[in-house]
Amino acid sequence: MPDIDDVLRRQEQIIDTIGWAVTHVLPTDEDPDTTAPFAYTVGLTAHHYPELVTAGLPLEVAHCLLNDLARRAYDRAERFSHGQRISDLIAGYDAIIIDGPPTHDLLPGMAIARYGRHQIRLQQLVWPDQQGRFPWDSGYSLEPQAQPLIAQM
């Protein structure tokens, strides 16, 4: 298993090459049910963009979605706003961007370590349930811990 210095070196190489890296956080053996898996970007802050986070998705899916959004920001200077619907990211569903601070459940630790907590702006990609409802909608079919949020709508 690589040590933290190896992880940081690899992350630095990825950021230098493409402009950002995606970091995954998994539940631990000690708390397997209390934390949803989540992924977030590191590197966008250096280019004056918010870091991006999403929670509760399979890591490969989260990685692809965050890379797509980060590419839009980094390569095309696209800015996302709180409450913005994105219809061309998840096949057959809209996603919504929300702004908010890091939380206990969604803490972008590597980004905070790199840039400092006060430099980090955070935007979350929120995905709907199979009926197209979001966590703040009546009838949302998933438990709140399936997709913790950095803010409410």
CA distance linking residue 84 with residue 13, whole number of Å: 32
Q: What is the DSSP letter of 129?
A: -
52-74, pLDDT tens digit by residue?
A: 999 999 999 999 999 999 999 99
Burial of 121 (0-12, 13-18, 19+ CB in 10 A): middle
Per DSSP, helices labelled H in 2-49 are 4-18
CA distances from 26 to 52, 65, 107, 111, 137 (A): 17, 17, 12, 16, 26
Q: What is the pLDDT of residues 80-117, one digit of tens each?
A: 999 999 999 999 999 999 999 999 899 999 999 999 99
Q: What is the pLDDT of residue 35?
A: 72
Domain ranges of the chain: 4-146
Taking the model in full, what pTM does it have? 0.93
